[in-house]
A and B are shown apart, each in its own frame.
Chain A
Amino acid sequence: MDVTLNLTHACNLACPYCYAGAKDDRAMSADVAERALQLALEDDAEHVQISFFGGEPLLRFELLEAYTRLAQERLGTGGAGRTLAFTLTTNGTAFTPAKLEFLKAQKFFVGFSMDGGRAAQDASRPFVNGGSSFEAVLRGLKSVQAAGLSYEVILVTDPTNVRSLGESVRFIVAQGVHKVSLNPNFSADWTDEDLEHWERGYEEAAAVYLETLRDGRPLALNILDEKIHTWVKDGFKARDHCQFGNTGVAVAPSGNIYPCERLVGEDRDLRFCIGDVFTGFTARRDELLRCISGTPSDCTGCALSARCMNWCPCQNFADSGQIDRPGGLLCWHDQVAVRVADTAATQLFEEQNPLFLRRFYG
Chain B
Amino acid sequence: MARRVNPVGMQAEPSYPNQRSRSRRDFLELLALGSVGVLAGLPAGVRAEEPSEEPSEPLFELMDLEGGYTLEFSVSCGPGAPTRKTLNKVRKRVTRYVAKNVTPNGMHDPVTLQGYHAALTAILEEVLEPVVLQGVSLGHNCRKLCPPAPRTRGARPLIDSDPEL
Contacts and interface: CB of A to CB of B under 8 A. Distances in A.
A218 interface: yes
Contact of B19 (A53, A220, A233, A325): A233
Interface in A295-334: 296, 298-305, 309, 312, 315, 325-329, 331-332
A351 interface: yes
A85 interface: yes
B137 A326 contact: no
B153 A346 contact: no
A237 B159 CA distance: 9
Interface in B116-165: 117, 137, 139, 147-148, 150-165
Nearest to A310: B5
B9 interface: yes
Q: Chain B binding site: helix, strand, loop or mixed by DSSP? A: loop
A216 B3 contact: no
B63 interface: no
Contact of B161 (A109, A111, A237, A315): A237
Interface in A202-217: 213-216
A215 B45 CA distance: 11
Given A154-B152, A218-B110, A359-B164, A226 B15 contact: no
A303 B150 contact: no
Contacts, number: 212
Contacts of B14: 231, 342, 345-346
Interface string B1-30: 111111111110011111110100001001
B156 A183 contact: yes
A85 B163 CA distance: 17
Interface residues on A, range: 35 or more
Given A49-B148, A328-B3, A359-B163, A89 B154 contact: yes
Interface string A156-195: 0000000000000000000000110111100001111000
Contacts of A93: none
Interface stretch (B31-39, B54-62, B79-87, B89-97): B31-39
A327 B3 contact: yes
Given A49-B150, A346-B14, A182 B156 contact: yes
Given A218-B114, A353-B44, A354-B31, 18 more contacts: A4-B153, A51-B153, A85-B150, A87-B153, A89-B153, A229-B162, A230-B159, A231-B18, A261-B154, A304-B11, A309-B157, A332-B3, A332-B6, A335-B6, A352-B47, A357-B31, A359-B110, A361-B19
